[in-house]
Copies of this chain bind each other. A is one copy, B any other.
Amino acid sequence: MNKPIEFYFDFSSPYGYLASTQIDALANRFDRTVIWRPFLVGASFKLTGRKPLLEVPLVRDYMAHDVERFARFLEIPFSLPEKFPIAAIAASRGFYWLAEQDPDLAISFAKRVYHAYFAKHQDITSSEALADLASSLQIDRDQWIVAVKSQAIKDRFREENDRALERGVFGSPFFIIGDEAFWGADRLPQVEQWLSRDGW
């Protein structure tokens, strides 16, 4: 049985977005499933004392250029939104609510959220904007709005974040295959080699 690729990402992470456009095709080439796991990378910053790279002098200018160049390299639409970063709590909760019913639908939703934010600069934080995105996938709008605010899904998302920290996930994107962890969209070539050779 091939181990799945666990794909941790923050909806506010540009490099997470880049990886989200690549991970399914990569997994398919090696007959792997991908378990998508949105989380809030900010929670790890308390433990690590780090800041978002796009708030760090010198690094900020480089990163803004690097991520746009990386997107052009992958030939995907991207530019850094004016309103950045954002807290993607509601989108993440909605994702887990969907995933409990239909994991593939949840992944389609995640892709629409990322595309809306990084390709079209749409809001992905308000309940209304997210309900619109959900509706476009034939998800019931009223059910959605109730579900995302439920205590059950808030608890579920908190557990996911706690579990991510316990597992040492401190950046987005972050990939775990069995016991092997890879951090960063730039590690995708090594993830591919890892699957191809079954490690090295």
Number of copies: 2
A57 within 8 A of B: yes
**Residue among B51, B187, B200 making CB contact with A186, cutoff 8 Å:** B187
Contact B62 A58 (CB under 8 A): no
**Residue among B48, B66, B182, B200 making CB contact with A56, cutoff 8 Å:** B48
Q: How many residues of A contact B (CB 8 A)?
A: 31
Q: How does the 8 Å CB contact mask read for A83-104 relative to B, with 1 for contact and 0 for none?
A: 0000000000000000000000
Contact A186 B184 (CB under 8 A): yes
CB within 8 Å of B: which residues of A? 44, 47-51, 56-59, 61-62, 65-66, 69-70, 72-73, 168, 170-171, 181-184, 186-187, 189-190, 193, 200
A-B contact pairs, 8 of them (CB 8 A): A49-B57, A58-B168, A58-B170, A62-B181, A65-B181, A66-B182, A73-B200, A184-B186
